[in-house]
Chain A
């Protein structure tokens, strides 16, 4: 496997070996920070690369499109004759499109069957792209255990680790996430992704870790290419957890300028407005905005659930 990654396409080195090299482009670094357009531009610009590198580049290109929500480009461009990695990416695109459109039920069985077919092939189950895509789909499906099973076979692939840690955090197993993180730090010390993971875990731990997490985001945000909505949100979340609401609000408004219907930004704005004692009008405005931007956002679902829960619970106390 290593030989595959000793490609001249230095642009991906950071991604493949997990070591983020300054000045070189990587999806793990750039993609994770949310500069998808940059990934797309980079992937389209270079030409002189080997076949393997081309494949990888394409993979990232399509993944970047998916991240931007441009599923149709991927679905139409990837053909059945393409490499298995690309087909897997397409699978993700199809799946996410269905999910976004709320027509998941029809695709679910199909996608999962296809995935398990794919994974039966031993070579595929060790292919990091396929691992990541399968992990992603399983995660969306809530099949965290399956996702972990797939991802655990990773060969020190930082993105796999990032997924694993997100799964652990989702499972509320901060202890395991910390352990994984400690193990990862031994071989991926200063990769941007590794730092981000640390911040994710740190925000769950609390205490001094909040401030440390903030520093991580702040440092990343200093590079102009990384000053994305995603990173701004990260910074803002750190501020909120540290109780610094005005700072958080400033960053979130900046993020809103960049993308005025990013659901996370809106959710965090709702939180910060509530906490800083803004009037309910402000909160309601953001909520409406969020409903338009992402009607299926878990935050809204949660809120709906609680709304009805309140009515049901309150009913029990009403005096006869």
Chain B
């Protein structure tokens, strides 16, 4: 038996402790008056309650309400609400120190024991006391309710333990709803009068036997037994029946005052702690000492057991400890569809396939009564089992399973092969490895338990694990895990990790998860790390999913980890479980009672993420369609991980859709959403993105919507759209924006307009100059005339002026877009673009499918409506333009948009019925460049420049001339020409060196210089030339070979070595 410390706190002397029944909390009341609330799982102090004056000795949680009670040396009993963190009220009445306080499990009662020699029962709902138990004639050190019956046990320094019957009190309080007002009144009066002689609580038995004061007494949870601990250094066990009570036995061994003692809730054990700085465990039936745990400095003052879990806590001079007495993890091993595990000292087999569970062998004799086997290794070939137990510093037992499993557990066949070792595992059909930790030796033994080999490990090893093959072992040291070859006695691989406690291999042995206390390291079979996951709470166990996802359990969660490091919570757990197998949607596990369970989980999230990572877009799509994976979290995830185009299809909110569409360059969707929202900032953003892609038609629309006249004019200038520029000029005139008019006429090269404008704004000299320099002599003269000057009056005219005439556009691109920037279109764009099969997303503009027209057609119609209106306003404008010479009073702003729109709407209307051509995809040459860092691959792709840069960087090449023929050779060997349609040029096909690959992110070009060729043809030839003595030729040949070796791509390491050998 060992003490497994789960938590330790450092504080002032702890006089009282209480576990929360559900949460991982513990209350400690201190000698300095403070009450601390700890989370013992996280190891953090949650709260402090500082209201008592002087030491607080009694403390207890309410079993169900968010309450706790405390009693202190200030005679006060305080009831607290831990949610509001406030003391609700104080119960006054005791006349001396309060020693212990406890809640009743059912009634709203508090039981308190005090140095005033009384025990009191309080009602915390009515907040008054309802009974006083008198009879002790010294301090009452402890008083507790029976967990089920109407009994109270108390211990006092008067050397007695008393059992009280409180059934009268219960009867009085029963069915309070039926009580009349008079009854209540009467009761309350009697309670007052019966303080010293009440019949509600009577002494049933007085147990005498301790020679000194008794510090503690408590009931057994189920049996009619009491254990008491006293200053006589003894622990006494008492039995009681309906009519009598007697002492059964005494446990002697403590050599100072025993502070507390209690029954182990699940085993036949008694645990006690004392001022002799020990915690002792006793056998309840034999009354013998089982184990002593000693501390150097700390006297123990209090002891308690968790009401539900296998946990204990003891308070001492400098804090408290939370501990358990045994590992709750059952020893288990999984082999294919069978789970071998140990429950209650019986080896059982559970079949995952049909859920049968059979006991096989009793292992009672192994390891002693209180020690459970620690680990189990199964040998399927010989049906043998090795168990390791911690007894005597580590022992292993080897035995065979019976041939037939009858359902009755048998004794382990007595071949009794046993030895000492801390961990032992089968490595082969007839071999197992044993680690002797103290001697630091690994022994390989055969099934007759004879050592065949002894190995000195390369470092200090704590545990050994299987490594998938018969001659490999994983050795866990305190800083790393070593992959060790037993045959060659050498380290094959090593990975740095915190101390690893468990090792779990994936089914195909390609990946391994190394579990430490707070980290999981996932590595491949040569121990190359693929990810490291940190957890703040303890990791308990794990199992691999068939798809290569690691599912693991912590103290309170089942989580998943993808091998590239993504992890997340699948579900929460009330109690820790030990995962044994993951199959589809269910996780098989063992719980702490050693029961097999299957927990159903929802694998959608991690499958989705896995599919995304593996770029298995078909599956992603299927998951999107078949499940309701919607929500901010998933959108945020997709966006963060760089899949905005996928996220786009989860979003309905226009704003988010718009942002995502811009992020992935999907102009169609951006346009659609921008139209819906119709906000200036959106149009601006859209304009920027569309301009970046070269889609100037959308840019135009965006500028129109935000009435960005200057940019619009410039855009028309760029695209050579003279017609629109004229329109802009007209608009500028209507807007009375002279600067804009000037710009537009400048863009148009419209001199008359400029002269007119300058005249209008009174810049006559400029107007004259303009006219004069453009050869409009008449106009110039009329200006002069108008200003009353003659040409002679104009002197010192600048002579170096040049005519500014904008070039006539050669290509008018108003109808077609510029060549668009290639926006990588993911699988999803096309997948979602097919509206028939896509329930989620709105159809994109691309598609000749008639289904698509519905929505797009709507815009068309809308805008057509606009268009007509626009035309009307155009007419009106013409009329009013004539009527209103001044041009004022025309509300341009309101109608401008519609006036400008007809062209675009026309486009759109056509677009909806017509086919919108898709943009080009990525050429395979580009893929090659992306996919490979090798110069040769870049050459094959035709990107000589990058290839040279690579060679320059990698081998420092500067003189490329000798390589020219190799470059061209490599390049021209990569493209085949396939004749296709009649009278059309052939299609180019790219030859791959990995023809089995269909994933575009991994395709690589064929290389004309392959190693095999060089070795089998060129090299022998060169050798031959050498032997013939034609050294000049030979040098040329060898040089060619060395040059071509530069452009060889090899995939396997041995080949690399060979290449190197040849190269030198």
Q: Is A172 in contact with B923, judged by CB distance below 8 angstroms?
A: yes
In this complex, the member of B914, B944, B981 whose beta carbon has the largest number of chain A beta carbons within 10 angstroms is B981
| Besides the known contacts A170-B987, A274-B972, A318-B958, 4 further A-B residue pairs in the complex with CB atoms under 8 A apart | A268-B977, A271-B973, A271-B974, A317-B958
A188 at the interface (CB under 8 A from B): no
Question: Across the interface, which residues of B come within 8 angstroms of A204, CB to CB?
Answer: 989
Query: How far is B922's CA from A276's CA once the two chains are assembled, in angstroms?
Result: 29
B515 at the interface (CB under 8 A from A): no
Q: Is B1013 in contact with A277, judged by CB distance below 8 angstroms?
A: yes
Task: Name the contact of A203 in the complex, choosing from B972, B978, B979, B1013 (C-beta under 8 A).
Answer: B978
| 28 CB < 8 A contacts A-B | A32-B981, A67-B983, A136-B981, A140-B984, A140-B985, A144-B920, A148-B918, A152-B848, A152-B915, A163-B981, A166-B980, A166-B987, A200-B980, A203-B989, A237-B977, A241-B989, A241-B991, A263-B977, A267-B975, A277-B1008, A277-B1013, A299-B975, A302-B942, A303-B972, A313-B960, A316-B945, A317-B957, A317-B958
Task: Name the contact of B991 in the complex, choosing from A209, A230, A240, A270 (C-beta under 8 A).
Answer: A240
B23 at the interface (CB under 8 A from A): no
- Which 5 pairs, one residue from A and one from B, show the smallest C-beta to C-beta distance? A274-B973, A145-B917, A172-B921, A207-B998, A277-B1013
Name the distance in Å between A89's Cβ and chain B's nearest Cβ: 10
Per-position 1/0 for B956-968, Cβ under 8 A of A: 0111110011011
Task: Name the contact of B920 in the complex, choosing from A153, A172, A263, A270 (C-beta under 8 A).
Answer: A172
Q: Is B917 in contact with A149, judged by CB distance below 8 angstroms?
A: yes
Interface residues of A (CB under 8 A from B): 31-32, 34, 63, 66-67, 92, 96, 136, 139-140, 144-145, 148-149, 152-153, 159, 162-163, 166, 169-176, 179, 196, 200, 203-210, 229-230, 233-234, 237, 240-243, 263-264, 267-268, 270-271, 274-277, 280, 283, 298-299, 302-303, 306-307, 309-311, 313-314, 316-319
Task: Name the contact of B997 in the complex, choosing from A66, A144, A145, A206 (C-beta under 8 A).
Answer: A206
Q: Is A306 in contact with B969, judged by CB distance below 8 angstroms?
A: no
- Number of contact residues on B: which range applies? 35 or more
Task: Name the contact of A166 in the complex, choosing from B917, B944, B981, B997 (C-beta under 8 A).
Answer: B981
Query: How far is B977's CA from A200's CA once the two chains are assembled, in angstroms?
Result: 11
Question: Across the interface, which residues of B come within 8 angstroms of A200, CB to CB?
Answer: 978, 980, 987
Q: Is A136 in contact with B920, judged by CB distance below 8 angstroms?
A: no
Given contacts A149-B914, A234-B979, A314-B964, contact A210 B944 (CB under 8 A): no
Task: Name the contact of A274 in the complex, choosing from B924, B945, B969, B985 (C-beta under 8 A).
Answer: B969
Question: Across the interface, which residues of A come within 8 angstroms of B914, CB to CB?
Answer: 149
- Chain B residue nearest to A209 in the complex (CB): B998
- Chain B residue nearest to A204 in the complex (CB): B989
- Chain A residue nearest to B970 in the complex (CB): A274
B811 at the interface (CB under 8 A from A): no
Query: How far is B998's CA from A175's CA once the two chains are assembled, in angstroms?
Result: 12
Question: Across the interface, which residues of B come within 8 angstroms of A276, CB to CB?
Answer: 1013
Q: Is A233 in contact with B1006, judged by CB distance below 8 angstroms?
A: no
B339 at the interface (CB under 8 A from A): no
Question: Across the interface, which residues of B come within 8 angstroms of A283, CB to CB?
Answer: 969
Name the distance in Å between A300's Cβ and chain B's nearest Cβ: 10
B995 at the interface (CB under 8 A from A): yes
Query: How far is B987's CA from A298's CA once the two chains are assembled, in angstroms?
Result: 10
Q: Is B995 in contact with A242, judged by CB distance below 8 angstroms?
A: yes
In this complex, the member of A139, A152, A314 whose beta carbon has the largest number of chain B beta carbons within 10 angstroms is A314
B337 at the interface (CB under 8 A from A): no
- Chain A residue nearest to B830 in the complex (CB): A175
Name the distance in Å between A66's Cβ and chain B's nearest Cβ: 6
B517 at the interface (CB under 8 A from A): no
Q: Is B991 in contact with A271, judged by CB distance below 8 angstroms?
A: yes
B948 at the interface (CB under 8 A from A): yes
Name the distance in Å between B431's Cβ and chain A's nearest Cβ: 43
B952 at the interface (CB under 8 A from A): yes
Question: Across the interface, which residues of B come within 8 angstroms of A31, CB to CB?
Answer: 982
Question: Across the interface, which residues of A come within 8 angstroms of B959, CB to CB?
Answer: 317-319
Q: Is B945 in contact with A313, judged by CB distance below 8 angstroms?
A: yes
Question: Across the interface, which residues of B come within 8 angstroms of A136, CB to CB?
Answer: 981, 983-984
- Chain A residue nearest to B985 in the complex (CB): A298
Question: Across the interface, which residues of B come within 8 angstroms of A307, CB to CB?
Answer: 968
Name the distance in Å between A160's Cβ and chain B's nearest Cβ: 10
Q: Is A241 in contact with B969, judged by CB distance below 8 angstroms?
A: no
Given contacts A148-B917, A207-B998, A310-B960, contact A162 B981 (CB under 8 A): yes
Q: Is A66 in contact with B917, judged by CB distance below 8 angstroms?
A: no
B796 at the interface (CB under 8 A from A): no
Query: How far is B849's CA from A176's CA once the two chains are assembled, in angstroms?
Result: 13
Query: How far is B997's CA from A208's CA once the two chains are assembled, in angstroms?
Result: 9
Query: How far is B986's CA from A139's CA once the two chains are assembled, in angstroms?
Result: 11
In this complex, the member of A144, A152, A163, A175 whose beta carbon has the largest number of chain B beta carbons within 10 angstroms is A175
Question: Across the interface, which residues of A come within 8 angstroms of B985, CB to CB?
Answer: 139-140, 298
Q: Is B984 in contact with A207, judged by CB distance below 8 angstroms?
A: no
Q: Is A207 in contact with B989, judged by CB distance below 8 angstroms?
A: no
Question: Across the interface, which residues of A come within 8 angstroms of B983, CB to CB?
Answer: 63, 66-67, 92, 96, 136
B827 at the interface (CB under 8 A from A): yes
Q: Is B995 in contact with A210, judged by CB distance below 8 angstroms?
A: yes
Query: How far is B971's CA from A262's CA once the two chains are assembled, in angstroms?
Result: 21
Given contacts A139-B984, A275-B973, contact A306 B942 (CB under 8 A): yes
Q: Which of B897-918 touch A at CB < 8 Å?
A: 914-915, 917-918
Name the distance in Å between A255's Cβ and chain B's nearest Cβ: 10
Query: How far is B981's CA from A31's CA once the two chains are assembled, in angstroms?
Result: 9
Query: How far is B976's CA from A234's CA once the two chains are assembled, in angstroms?
Result: 10
Query: How far is B915's CA from A175's CA once the two chains are assembled, in angstroms?
Result: 17
Question: Across the interface, which residues of B come within 8 angstroms of A303, CB to CB?
Answer: 968, 971-972
- Chain A residue nearest to B946 in the complex (CB): A313
Task: Name the contact of A206 in the complex, choosing from B971, B982, B998 (C-beta under 8 A).
Answer: B998
In this complex, the member of B825, B920, B978, B985 whose beta carbon has the largest number of chain A beta carbons within 10 angstroms is B978
Given contacts A206-B995, A241-B995, contact A34 B979 (CB under 8 A): yes
B1027 at the interface (CB under 8 A from A): no
Q: Is A306 in contact with B971, judged by CB distance below 8 angstroms?
A: yes
Name the distance in Å between A207's Cβ and chain B's nearest Cβ: 4
Question: Across the interface, which residues of B come within 8 angstroms of A208, CB to CB?
Answer: 998
Name the distance in Å between A214's Cβ and chain B's nearest Cβ: 11
Given contacts A32-B981, A152-B915, A310-B967, contact A171 B921 (CB under 8 A): yes
Q: Is A310 in contact with B998, judged by CB distance below 8 angstroms?
A: no
Query: How far is B1006's CA from A23's CA once the two chains are assembled, in angstroms?
Result: 41
Query: How far is B706's CA from A54's CA once the two chains are assembled, in angstroms?
Result: 60
Q: Is A205 in contact with B998, judged by CB distance below 8 angstroms?
A: yes
Name the distance in Å between A303's Cβ and chain B's nearest Cβ: 6
Q: Is B921 in contact with A268, judged by CB distance below 8 angstroms?
A: no
Query: How far is B463's CA from A17's CA once the two chains are assembled, in angstroms?
Result: 75
Question: Across the interface, which residues of A come within 8 angstroms of B830, CB to CB?
Answer: 175-176, 179
Q: Is A173 in contact with B921, judged by CB distance below 8 angstroms?
A: yes
Q: Is B965 in contact with A280, judged by CB distance below 8 angstroms?
A: yes
- Chain A residue nearest to B1008 in the complex (CB): A274
- Chain B residue nearest to A231 in the complex (CB): B979
Q: Is B918 in contact with A176, judged by CB distance below 8 angstroms?
A: yes
Name the distance in Å between B668's Cβ and chain A's nearest Cβ: 15
In this complex, the member of A162, A229, A274 whose beta carbon has the largest number of chain B beta carbons within 10 angstroms is A274
Question: Across the interface, which residues of B come within 8 angstroms of A298, CB to CB?
Answer: 985, 988
Question: Across the interface, which residues of A come within 8 angstroms of B848, CB to CB?
Answer: 152
Task: Name the contact of A313 in the complex, choosing from B944, B968, B1003, B1008 (C-beta under 8 A).
Answer: B944
Task: Name the contact of A67 in the complex, choosing from B915, B921, B952, B982 (C-beta under 8 A).
Answer: B982
Q: Is A310 in contact with B944, judged by CB distance below 8 angstroms?
A: yes
In this complex, the member of A204, A230, A317 whose beta carbon has the largest number of chain B beta carbons within 10 angstroms is A317
Query: How far is B945's CA from A97's CA once the two chains are assembled, in angstroms?
Result: 37
Question: Across the interface, which residues of A come within 8 angstroms of B923, CB to CB?
Answer: 172
Q: Is A299 in contact with B978, judged by CB distance below 8 angstroms?
A: no
Question: Across the interface, which residues of B come within 8 angstroms of A179, CB to CB?
Answer: 830, 834
Query: How far is B924's CA from A146's CA once the two chains are assembled, in angstroms?
Result: 24
Query: How far is B942's CA from A234's CA once the two chains are assembled, in angstroms?
Result: 24
Name the distance in Å between B943's Cβ and chain A's nearest Cβ: 9
In this complex, the member of A230, A275, A299 whose beta carbon has the largest number of chain B beta carbons within 10 angstroms is A275
Query: How far is B637's CA from A293's CA once the two chains are assembled, in angstroms?
Result: 58
Question: Across the interface, which residues of B come within 8 angstroms of A318, CB to CB?
Answer: 958-959
